[in-house]
A and B are shown apart, each in its own frame.
Chain A
Amino acid sequence: MQTQTVTEAPRLGKLYLQAVVTARLGGGGALPDTELVLPDQVVDPGHLAAYVRVCGGSRRDRLPATYPHLLAFPLQVRLLADRKFPLPLPGLVHLRNVCTQHRPIATDDPLTLRVHAERLVAHPKGAQVDLVATAEVSGERVWSGRSTYLARGSDAHGAHGATAPATVDGVAAGPAVELADDPAAAVWRIPADAGRRYAAVSGDVNPIHLNALAARVFGFPRAIAHGMWCKARALAAVEARLPDAFAVDVAFRKPVLLPSTVHHVVRRAADGWDFALLRPNGEGAHLVGTVRPPADEVLPAPR
C-alpha cells in the first residue's frame, strides 16, 4: 500500500461538492491501494470545547474516544470522494462504527492519523466498504476506528470475487445486544437544528443532516441526526465509568429524523456496557452499541 502524506486537513464542503460532480464518472473497480497520512495534528482546545458542548460529557484533559474520528474523517472523505473510488460518496450510509481507545489520549498529544479503505464486499442492498483509521502518538498506536459504509445499489466488483458474502465476520451486523425491553435511562429531546449544530463542529456538512429538502433527495422524509453525534452522546453518558482501554462498537439501524424524542437505554455488562437509542413507541432501535475491552482482531496490523 502506498502512503500519501497530506499536510492539511481537507475541506469537507469542497470534497462533497466534488463528489457530487464526479460520482457518476467513476465507480466500479478495485479499492485504492493508498493510505492517507495526516501527521502531527494538535487538538484545538476551543474546537474540543465546542465538540463536548454539542455531544455532552465533561471537558477533560483527555480526548473523548469519538473525537479522533473527527480528525480522521476528512481523510476518509478525501478517499471516498476520489473519482477512482469504486463507490459514490453521495448517499453513502453509515452502518457501523468501532472506535478503539488503546490508551487515554491527552488533549496535547500530537496525533498522526492514517486512513485507508478495505473489505469492499457485497451487501444485500448494494456494496459495503470499511474505512479504517488509526491515530498514533510518536509511533505508538493510541486509537483506531473502523467505519462501515453502504452504497445502495452499487456493485462490489472490486471485491475478492463478485459474489462475496453479504457480511464478512458479521461486520455489518454490529454488536448483538437486545435492550428493547429495558426502561429508558434517559430521554433525549433532539431539536431540529441538531444536525446543523454538529455539522458546524464536525465539518460533516453532508446535506442529509442539514435540511429536510436535501434529505428528501436521498429518500429521508426529514433531515437526520449524525450517527457519530448519537454515538458520542451515548458514550458521554458512561464516560465516568470507562476503563483506560476499550472499544465502543455501534451499529446504526434506523436514522434519527429531526426533530425527535428518543429513549437512551444503558445496561452494565460483565465486561463493559450495552446501550441503545430506541424509538419511544417500542418500534425498534436507532442504534445499538457496546463498550468492551479492546479486541485486537478488529484491526489488522498496519501495512
Chain B
Amino acid sequence: MAPRRAAVVGGNRIPFARSNGPYAHAANQDMLTAALDGLVSRFGLAGERLGEVAAGAVLKHSRDFNLTREAVLGSALAPSTPAYDVQQACGTGLEAAILVANKIALGQLDSGIAGGVDTTSDAPIAVNERLRQALLAANRAKSTGARLAALARIRPNHLVPEIPRNSEPRTGMSMGDHAAATALRWQVTREDQDALTVTSHHRLAAAYDRGFFDDLLTPYLGLNRDQNLRPDSSLEKLATLKPVFGRGEGATMTAANSTPLTDGASAVLLASDEWAADHGLPVLAHFVDAETAAVDYVHGEEGLLMAPAYAVPRLLARNGLTLQDFDFYEIHEAFASQVLSTLAAWESPEFCKEKLGLDAPLGSIDRAKLNVNGSSLAAGHPFAATGGRIVATLAKLLAERGSGRGLISICAAGGQGVVAILEAAK
C-alpha cells in the first residue's frame, strides 16, 4: 500500500514583531498558545483531540523543556492531545511539519498541528559558567565543609551572566558574518540584495492589501500586520545604509537586506484527506516530499547557510523533477545574500558538477515565481516560526491557483537545510 499524502488544511500565525517591541513581555509559551488558539477558532477545533502537536523554539528557557505540551494544555485543544518539542534551528517549523505529515502519510495520525515560536526579547540568560561550576560542585559535596569550600571559589566577576550570542558555537562567528563570506564567494552584489529586499517588502504589503493573510493571521497584542514591513521601502533608501556584516570594500550586507531579530509564532493544521472531509474542511495542498541536508562549514568546506543548495537537487532527483518544474519557490530570506548565493550555486556548472556531482547545472528560476508574497526580509524571522509561515502561505497560494507545485527551502544554523515540495490539492 502506497502511503497516503498529508493534506495542509490551513495555518495561523500571530503578526511578527521586532525584537523588544510589542511582544517584549510575551513568553514563547504565550505566543505559541496564541497561534494555536487562533488556529483552533478558525477551524472549530475547540475541545477536539488531535493526533499530536509538534512545535519548537530555537531560543528556549530550561524551564520550557516541555514547551509545546504546556502550550497545548493552555490552549482550547483537548488536553488529551499529545505534544512534543522539535528543534532544528531555523528549520524547526518546517521539520515539525515534515514529522507530522510523515505520521499522517503512514496512517499513524489522522490530524496534527506543526508549529514554532521564538522570542529574542524574552531570551534566556544563563548564569556565568564558572558560577554554575561552583554551584554544581557545592551541590555534589558531601559535607558542609566541602560545600563551603566549593562556594568559596565564587568571585564577584562570576556573577556576570551569560547572554545568548547570535553566533555559531563552533566558529564564534555570527550567522551574518558567515553569510557575508558566502556572499563574497558568490560575488553577490549589494544592488541585487537591496532589490530582493525591496521586492520582498512590496510583495508582502500587496499581499496584506489584497487580504491574502486575512485567514492566515490572528492579531496579537495590538499588532495586526508584521511590524517589520515597510511598504514604502525603496532602493534609494536602502542604498544609504551602512554594511553591518563583512569588512571593507566587499561588505554588502546591511540591516535591511538581512532579517532583523523578531518575535512571533505560527502553526499549521495537517490532516488526512478523510479527516478533513469528515470535518467539512477544504484541503489547500498536499505534502509531497521533503529532504534535509547538512554541510561542513566548520572545516572550511562550505558556507554555513548553503545546505539547501544540496538538499534541493537530492529532492528533485528522488521525485523526477527539474528545478524549473515549480509554480512557486519559497526560499526563506535569512539574508538576501543567502537566497542569491543559493540561486547562483544552482546556476554554476562548476558547483553543480564538483559539489553536487551533476552533469549539468540545475539552472535558473523564473524570479517572478520566487517569494511572490514576500518573505522573511519583510515579515521578519522568529526562527522556529518561519517554517509554519511559509507552509501556510505556499499551501494557500497553491489553493488559489488551483493547480501546480511549490518548493520550500529553509537554511538553518549548524550548516543545515530543510526543503520540501507541496502540490495543490486536486
Contacts and interface: CB of A to CB of B under 8 A. Distances in A.
Report whether chain A binds chain B: yes
A189 B170 CA distance: 12
Contact of B300 (A187, A188, A189, A267): A267
A245 B399 CA distance: 59
Contacts of B177: 187
A241 B299 CA distance: 10
B298 to A, nearest CB: 7
B181 interface: yes
A32 B172 CA distance: 45
B173 A238 contact: no
A187 B173 contact: yes
Interface residues of B, number: 10
B299 A188 contact: no
Contact of B170 (A186, A267, A268): A186
B301 interface: yes
Contact of B172 (A183, A186, A241): A186
Q: Is the interface of A mostly helix, strand, loop or mixed?
A: strand
A186 B172 CA distance: 6
A188 B172 CA distance: 6
Contacts of A183: 181, 300
Contact of A182 (B170, B171, B300): B300
B301 to A, nearest CB: 7
Q: Is the interface of B mostly helix, strand, loop or mixed?
A: loop
Contacts of A265: 300
Interface in A262-277: 265-268, 273
Interface in A177-209: 182-189
A237 interface: yes
B157 to A, nearest CB: 9
Interface string B173-185: 1000100010000
A265 to B, nearest CB: 7
A60 to B, nearest CB: 17
Question: Which of B170, B171, B300 counts the most A-chain CB atoms under 10 A from its CB?
Answer: B300
A273 B173 CA distance: 21
Nearest to B165: A189
A53 to B, nearest CB: 8
Nearest to A261: B172
Interface in B141-179: 170-173, 177
A275 to B, nearest CB: 10
Contact of B298 (A185, A188, A189): A185
Interface string B63-80: 000000000000000000
A237 B300 contact: no
A184 B172 CA distance: 10
B173 A237 contact: no
Contact of A189 (B172, B181, B299): B172
Contact of B299 (A184, A187, A268): A268
B141 to A, nearest CB: 14
Question: Which of B170, B171, B298, B299 counts the most A-chain CB atoms under 10 A from its CB?
Answer: B299
A184 B301 contact: no
Interface string B297-312: 0111100000000000
Interface in B272-320: 298-301
Nearest to A184: B173
Nearest to A189: B172
A186 to B, nearest CB: 4
A278 to B, nearest CB: 13
B180 to A, nearest CB: 10
Question: Which of A187, A237, A267 counts the most B-chain CB atoms under 10 A from its CB?
Answer: A187
Contact of B171 (A186, A268, A273): A186
A237 B170 contact: yes
Interface in B164-223: 170-173, 177, 181
Nearest to B170: A186
Nearest to B301: A268
Question: Which of A186, A237, A268 counts the most B-chain CB atoms under 10 A from its CB?
Answer: A186
Contacts of B300: 182-183, 185, 265-268
Interface string B24-62: 000000000000000000000000000000000000000
Contacts of A238: 299
A59 to B, nearest CB: 14
Interface string A210-234: 0000000000000000000000000
Interface of A: 182-189, 237-238, 241, 265-268, 273
Interface of B: 170-173, 177, 181, 298-301
Given A182-B300, A187-B173, 17 more contacts: A183-B300, A185-B298, A185-B299, A185-B300, A186-B172, A186-B173, A186-B298, A187-B177, A188-B172, A237-B170, A237-B298, A238-B299, A265-B300, A266-B299, A267-B299, A267-B300, A268-B299
28 contacts: A182-B300, A183-B181, A183-B300, A184-B171, A184-B173, A185-B171, A185-B298, A185-B300, A186-B170, A186-B172, A186-B173, A186-B298, A187-B171, A187-B172, A187-B177, A188-B172, A189-B172, A237-B170, A237-B298, A238-B299, A265-B300, A266-B298, A266-B299, A266-B300, A267-B299, A268-B299, A268-B300, A273-B299
